[in-house]
Amino acid sequence: MQKTFSEKILAKYSGKSHVVPGEIVEVIPDIAMSHDNTAAISKTFAKIGVDKLYNPDIHLVVLDHCVPPANEAFAQNHKDIREFVKKHGIKKFYDINNGICHQVMAENGHCLPGTIMTGSDSHSTTYGAFGAFGTGVTRSETAVIMATGKIWFRVPETMRINITGEFQDGVYVKDLALGIIGKIRADGALYMAVEFTGPAAGKFTVSERMTLCNLAVEMGAKVGYVPPDEVIFNYLEGRAAAEYEPVYSDEGCNYDAVVDMNLSELEPVVACPHTVDNVKPVTEVAGETIEQVFVGTCNNSRLDDLAILAHVLKGRHIDSSTRLVVIPASSKVMIDAMRLGYIETIVSAGGTLATPGCGPCMGNHLGVPATGEKTISTANRNFKGRMGNRESEVFLASPHTCAVSAVTGKISDPREIPVDMALIFSELRKATLSPVLMTR
Amino acid sequence: MQTVIKGKVWKYGDDINTDVIFPGKYTYTVNDPAEMGEHAMEDLDPDFAANVQQNDVILAGKNFGCGSSREQAAVCLKVKGVGAIIASTFSRIYFRNGVNVGMPLITNRDAYDHFEHGDSIEIDFEKGEIRGEKGTFKFPPFNEFFFGIIDAGGLIPYTRKRIQEENR
Ligand code: SF4
């Protein structure tokens, strides 16, 4: 019988000949990521009553949620984590100078096709960009992985999103992802594995696949997945931290739902407050005044995103009533962006640069909005209070839409200031550290 | 764990969120599980906590347990003796929290269309059947591992027990 990617990988890891959706299986993941929440996890681990990790090599810890620490409590938290990591011999440890967990994992070759990866972070669906079965788990579950190596999963049903056509100017994979969420809503793919396939999906760069799979969780999904191909294999060449064997859905397998998306029909969109599925065409919300623009987060602050921002800002200045906070996804992205001159352009245009990490994405520091203020952001969540102030509003859009909005001080149609994507891609090929994750 | 339970149906609609299952205002003030049970379903069905019997079953539509990730929303039903929750779909985090506190959760769309509030039903976890006057409906049977977690009273006690057994 033909099986989906998830059914095949979960059967393989649980040592069964086959599994069906709804079944519960137990597996040992290849990687279990945790970030600043590792201190809390280590306390639950202590309660289980073992003094050694089952296997320190499957754990990966990145400090990113509040780096450098904003106050004493965050600093203590980091200190506790460093001690824990040292005591238990966790070698895959990335301190505050690296960047956002999901990005850092990709850059260091930990995201591999055909592997199972968990993260104590809901956006761990991102690893599906590389053909991994990646999903978020709770803190206690990571503590249990520490103790036993094991985690249970319910075998998910699968939704296939069939992507055809070509992007029009000013439309990006962010618009596609928000477009899907707007169409199927926040629970449209509840508990499902979402496979992004079709002729257009294979053309997406690594960066674009990450943006897409990162947003899968906002559709309710357990995992996002793009079948790994040459784009991924090339990216992993000389970078993969371990050997891997890709897993694919069988031809003719059973999908519980199929959604068709034609890129040629999409237009730039904005997710309006306070839910990610409150998606409207940018033309409907254009003109809304904003006080802050945030280009950052694991969703959209890679080199290609900063390139688009810099190209919009070149020779311009942001509106005097607006602030622009820019946080590269990682230090590698930041260095590449410096070498390519993007940082100089962005800062000269009035941008405020902050150190790689999550920044204000979940309201910890570096750009928390004031009461009554509106922010347009490249992030993946706009829930009430998400950026640290319940009395503020967050709109989500592509880097291009955010860049143009920074120039005008209002939510704006990105097509007002076009960018030359061919030129941008030729520049990006010169990147050396965060090889943009591209091939387009 | 009992492999077959019998109880009455408490039927609710779609998108039952964690706020109505366990009100947010108590999340930091109520820490005793028994007291959590007294507030179960408070904002949705004031009769529930006072009248629910051991092994009664909650039957709901789609997206049961959406909203916050609070574990209390699973604990409060468990301590009231709820024997299982059947829903057309569960929010993913509720499903994980439910299993991790030892609550049997069943995903089944047909039961919702057939059974009503107050109906008597029987659930056979081993065979994977929901049985009642209005029919029999199938779900993937619970395996040994799933039984183990539920029996131990949740994931953390289960893990502790497992480790003790391995060390023996
Ligand atoms: S950038 Fe935001 S969404 Fe991404 S890991 Fe950090 S807090 Fe989470």
Whichever domain contains B40, its CATH number is 3.20.19.10
Centre of ligand 1 to C-alpha A372, Å, is 23
Beta strand A151-154 with A24-27 is: antiparallel
Of A114 and A122, the structure prediction assigns the larger pLDDT to A114
CA-based nearest residue to A346, from A320, A319, A309, A375: A309
Beta-carbon neighbour count of residue B50 at 10 Å? Answer: 8
B160/A26 touch (CB, cutoff 8 Å), yes or no: no
Residue A117's pLDDT is what? 98
Residue B19's pLDDT is what? 84
Hey, which residues 212-241 in chain A have their CB within 8 Å of chain B?
A: 220, 222
Q: Which of A158-162, A376-380, A383-387, B67-71 has the lowest mean pLDDT?
A: B67-71
Residue B68's pLDDT is what? 72
- Taking 60 as the threshold, does the pLDDT of residue A219 lie above it? yes
B159/A24 touch (CB, cutoff 8 Å), yes or no: no
- Sign, CA dihedral A208-A210-A213-A214, equals negative
B117-158 residue pLDDT tens = 999 999 999 999 999 999 999 998 888 888 899 999 899 999
Query: What is the pLDDT confidence band of residue B93, given thresholds at 50, 70 and 90?
Result: confident
Residue A324 inside a domain? The answer is yes
- Taking 70 as the threshold, does the pLDDT of residue B99 lie above it? yes
User: What are the beta bridge partners of residue B59?
Assistant: B11, B86
Residues A28 and A175 in one domain: yes
Which helix (H) or strand (E) element contains residue A164? strand A158-164
3-class state of residue A286 by DSSP: coil
Averaged pLDDT for residues A35-60 = 94
CB distance from A91 to chain B under 8 Å?
Answer: no
Rounded-to-integer distance, Cα A42 and Cα B24, Å: 26
Query: What is the pLDDT confidence band of residue A65, given thresholds at 50, 70 and 90?
Result: very high
A140/B160 touch (CB, cutoff 8 Å), yes or no: no
Domain end position, chosen among A224, A244, A261: A261
- Taking 60 as the threshold, does the pLDDT of residue A369 lie above it? yes
Residue A83's pLDDT is what? 98
Residue A437 inside a domain? The answer is no
State which residue of chain A sits closest to B88, comparing Cα positions. A190
- Sign, CA dihedral B104-B110-B114-B116, equals positive
Q: Whole-model pTM? A: 0.92
Centre of ligand 1 to C-alpha A359, Å, is 8
CATH number, position A294: 3.30.499.10
> Is the distance from CB of A141 to CB of B72 less than 8 angstroms?
no
Residues A232 and A305 in one domain: no
Ligand 1 atom having least distance to the Cα of A297: 1
- What single letter denotes the amino acid at residue A88? H
Which helix (H) or strand (E) element contains residue A158? strand A158-164
Number of structural domains in chain B: 1
Nearest CA, atom 6, ligand 1: A358
B92/A187 touch (CB, cutoff 8 Å), yes or no: no
User: What are the beta bridge partners of residue A236?
Assistant: none
Question: What are the φ and ψ backbone dihedral angles of B42, each rounded to 5 degrees?
Answer: -50, -45
Number of structural domains in chain A: 2
- Sign, CA dihedral A115-A116-A117-A123, equals positive
Query: What is the pLDDT confidence band of residue A329, given thresholds at 50, 70 and 90?
Result: very high
Residues A185 and A247 in one domain: yes
Query: What is the pLDDT confidence band of residue A434, given thresholds at 50, 70 and 90?
Result: confident
Averaged pLDDT for residues A105-128 = 96
- Taking 80 as the threshold, does the pLDDT of residue B1 lie above it? no
Residue A66 inside a domain? The answer is yes
Which helix (H) or strand (E) element contains residue A293? strand A292-295
Which helix (H) or strand (E) element contains residue A134? strand A133-136
- What single letter denotes the amino acid at residue A377? S
A144/B139 touch (CB, cutoff 8 Å), yes or no: no
Q: How far is CA A379 from the centre of its chain?
A: 9
Residues A19 and A164 in one domain: yes
Domain end position, chosen among A199, A233, A261: A261
Among residues of chain B, what percentage have pLDDT more than 70? 100
Residues A204 and A175 in one domain: yes
Measured between beta carbons, the chain B residues lying within 8 angstroms of A222 are 92
Domain end position, chosen among A261, A294, A315: A261
In chain B the beta strands, taken as DSSP E runs, fall at 4-11, 57-60, 84-87, 105-107, 120-124, 129-132, 135-138
State which residue of chain B sits closest to A145, comparing Cα positions. B159
- Give which of A13, A14, A54, A144 to mutate to test B binding, by max B Cβ within 10 Å: A144
Residue located via tokens 């965050």: A74
Averaged pLDDT for residues A97-105 = 98
* Mean pLDDT, all residues of chain B: 92
Averaged pLDDT for residues A38-54 = 93
Query: What is the pLDDT confidence band of residue A436, given thresholds at 50, 70 and 90?
Result: low
* Mean pLDDT, all residues of chain A: 95
- Taking 70 as the threshold, does the pLDDT of residue A437 lie above it? no
Residues A115 and A251 in one domain: yes
Rounded-to-integer distance, Cα B39 and Cα A279, Å: 36
Averaged pLDDT for residues B5-10 = 97
Domain extent at residue B103: 4-166
Beta-carbon neighbour count of residue A309 at 10 Å? Answer: 30
- Side-chain-side CA neighbours of A293 within 13 Å: the count stands at 34
Residue A436 inside a domain? The answer is no
CA-based nearest residue to A225, from A233, A235, A237, A217: A217
Rounded-to-integer distance, Cα A119 and Cα A139, Å: 9
Cβ density class B13-40: b for 16+ within 10 Å, e for less = eebbbbbbbbbbebbeebeeeeebbebb
- Give which of B91, B92, B163 to mutate to test A binding, by max A Cβ within 10 Å: B92
> Is the distance from CB of B49 to CB of B87 less than 8 angstroms?
no
> Of the candidates B96, B100, B163, which has its C-beta nearest A49's C-beta?
B163
Token output for B138: 């199938």
Beta strand A374-377 with B4-11 is: unpaired
Rounded-to-integer distance, Cα A246 and Cα A12, Å: 12
B15-63 residue pLDDT tens = 898 888 998 788 777 888 899 999 999 989 999 999 999 999 999 999 9
- Taking 90 as the threshold, does the pLDDT of residue A34 lie above it? yes
- What single letter denotes the amino acid at residue A33? M
Among residues of chain A, what percentage have pLDDT more than 90? 92
Averaged pLDDT for residues A85-94 = 98
> Of the candidates A141, A152, A190, which has its C-beta nearest B91's C-beta?
A190
Averaged pLDDT for residues A240-268 = 97
DSSP letter at B39 equals T
Query: What is the pLDDT confidence band of residue A152, given thresholds at 50, 70 and 90?
Result: very high
Beta strand A59-62 with A31-34 is: parallel
- Sign, CA dihedral A298-A301-A305-A308, equals positive
Averaged pLDDT for residues A316-344 = 97
Domain extent at residue A394: 269-431
Residue A439's pLDDT is what? 54
> Is the distance from CB of B66 to CB of B90 less than 8 angstroms?
no
